């Protein structure tokens, strides 16, 4: 069974297939009105969300399917101590597909151990957010007309921004991508992303600490919010929260064809004055999120029909029980699951659930 837990679960041709289906849905919406008739999506949201949950809901409704689920786990058996695995087994009896958001990294991956229906990671901690990535890709495709040969600047919270991590992974599948990382020292991209993703897949990247010097080079500017909920230390958050702000003066330095994306919500990192600029694509991006989630649901249900076998989505050669993940927000330290690590090409060990480096 195919799940979407990490962007690397999709090959380039699978990504292209989903994006192309998203474009077809945009062009012929009514053709898909009954595509999921009789099917149920379960949205299991253990963490706040506006766009992702409602766009999944509205995607399934547009496909003629139904939606069950929760948006506050305190009202469920989770508050009685039920594990992810048990909740997943239960939901597998009721629904045809799951979209799960969880503050604990690796929770959706662990769900695949027992799930008899496809699981979609709708965001796990600061680790991954692959459906935002599909949203971003459909938006870039529709705005720029291509998914290769462009320069993208990521600005703001590159350390905790799971949307950034996931989009860089997906872009590593495409040719001619240049990445400019614009962040203060405290919020730089994690090492595993630089060395294991950018270096390994040959993504050309550079790091800068201001926006002005690179604005003119960018085809896409991907703004992010400084994510307060990910900080363990309040003082560190206060120090960096207003780091990089996009305004009309900075937009004046950019190409006329540049596109501004933001996964939203924004706090103050894009001034309202920028909303009127035709290059501001972040509200168009929201709508693309619904279309691409429609495409993803259709594809995952189709693939599940072809291959219904239950299997854990992690690597088959993981080392079990010998090392403990250092990340306090990793599922392997929160629930009673096997500690699993894998060795990368340089011989370094990483947690299978959250990708943290094992020292």
The footprint of ligand ASP (CB under 6 A) covers: 123, 129, 162-163, 225, 227, 263-264
Considering the complex, state which of residue 142 and residue 162 has its C-beta at the smaller distance from ligand ASP.
162
Check residue 96 and report its DSSP letter: S
Considering the complex, state which of residue 45 and residue 353 has its C-beta at the smaller distance from ligand ASP.
45
Considering the complex, state which of residue 39 and residue 162 has its C-beta at the smaller distance from ligand ASP.
162
Query: Most distant CA pair in the chain: distance in Å?
Result: 55
Q: Is the distance from CB of 354 to CB of 325 less than 8 angstroms?
A: yes
Considering the complex, state which of residue 225 and residue 290 has its C-beta at the smaller distance from ligand ASP.
225
d(C-alpha 223, C-alpha 274), whole Å: 12
Q: Please give the span between the terminal C-alpha atoms of the chain, in angstroms, as a whole number.
A: 33
Considering the complex, state which of residue 1 and residue 330 has its C-beta at the smaller distance from ligand ASP.
330
CA distances for 257 relative to 19, 152, 159, 220, 245, angstroms:
21, 13, 28, 9, 20
Q: Which two tokens stand for residue 95?
A: 């629904």
- The CB-of-205 to ligand ASP minimum distance in angstroms stands at 21
Considering the complex, state which of residue 83 and residue 243 has its C-beta at the smaller distance from ligand ASP.
243
Considering the complex, state which of residue 162 and residue 357 has its C-beta at the smaller distance from ligand ASP.
162
Burial class (CB in 10 A: 0-12, 13-18, 19+), 38: exposed
- The CB-of-125 to ligand ASP minimum distance in angstroms stands at 10
- The CB-of-227 to ligand ASP minimum distance in angstroms stands at 5
- The CB-of-47 to ligand ASP minimum distance in angstroms stands at 8
- The CB-of-130 to ligand ASP minimum distance in angstroms stands at 11
- In sign, the C-alpha dihedral spanning 333, 106, 108, 225 is positive
- The CB-of-157 to ligand ASP minimum distance in angstroms stands at 8
Considering the complex, state which of residue 265 and residue 308 has its C-beta at the smaller distance from ligand ASP.
265
CA distances for 98 relative to 41, 192, 232, angstroms:
6, 28, 30
Q: Is the distance from CB of 121 to CB of 108 less than 8 angstroms?
A: yes
d(C-alpha 23, C-alpha 216), whole Å: 29
Residue 99's nearest CA partner among 40, 140, 146 is 40
Provide the b/e sequence for 165-201 (b: ≥16 CB within 10 Å).
bbbbbbbbbbeebbbbbbbbeebbbbebbbebbbeee
- The CB-of-53 to ligand ASP minimum distance in angstroms stands at 10
- The CB-of-165 to ligand ASP minimum distance in angstroms stands at 10
């Amino acid at each position: 069974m195919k799940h979407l837990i990490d962007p690397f679960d999709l090959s380039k041709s699978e990504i292209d297939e989903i994006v192309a289906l998203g474009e077809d849905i945009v062009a012929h919406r009514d053709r898909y009105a009954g595509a999921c008739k009789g099917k149920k999506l379960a949205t299991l949201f253990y963490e706040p969300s506006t766009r992702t949950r409602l766009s999944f809901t509205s995607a399934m409704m547009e496909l003629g399917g139904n939606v069950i689920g929760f948006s506050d786990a305190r009202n469920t058996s989770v508050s009685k101590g039920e594990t992810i695995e048990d909740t997943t087994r239960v939901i597998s009896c009721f629904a045809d597909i799951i979209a799960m958001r969880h503050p604990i990294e690796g929770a959706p991956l662990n769900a695949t151990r027992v799930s008899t229906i496809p699981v979609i990671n709708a965001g796990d901690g600061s680790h991954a957010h692959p459906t935002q990535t599909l949203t971003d890709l459909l938006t870039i495709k529709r705005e720029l007309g291509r998914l290769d040969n462009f320069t993208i600047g990521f600005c703001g919270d590159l350390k905790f921004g799971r949307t950034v991590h996931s989009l860089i992974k997906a872009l590593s599948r495409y040719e001619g991508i240049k990445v400019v990382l614009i962040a203060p020292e405290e919020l730089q991209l994690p090492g595993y992303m630089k060395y294991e993703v950018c270096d390994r897949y040959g993504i050309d990247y550079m790091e800068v600490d201001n926006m002005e010097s690179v604005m003119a080079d960018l085809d896409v500017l991907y703004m992010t919010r400084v994510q307060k909920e990910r900080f363990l230390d309040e003082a560190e958050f206060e120090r960096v929260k207003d780091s990089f702000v996009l305004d009309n003066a900075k937009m004046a330095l950019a190409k006329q064809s540049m596109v501004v994306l933001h996964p939203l919500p924004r706090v103050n990192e894009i001034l309202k004055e920028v909303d009127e600029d035709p290059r501001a694509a972040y509200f168009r991006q929201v709508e693309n999120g619904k279309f691409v989630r429609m495409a993803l649901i259709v594809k995952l249900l189709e693939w599940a029909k072809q291959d219904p076998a239950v299997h854990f989505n992690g690597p088959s050669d993981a080392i079990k029980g010998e090392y403990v993940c250092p990340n306090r927000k990793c599922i392997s330290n929160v629930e009673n699951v096997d500690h699993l690590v894998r060795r990368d090409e340089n011989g370094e060990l990483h947690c299978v659930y959250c990708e943290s480096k094992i020292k």
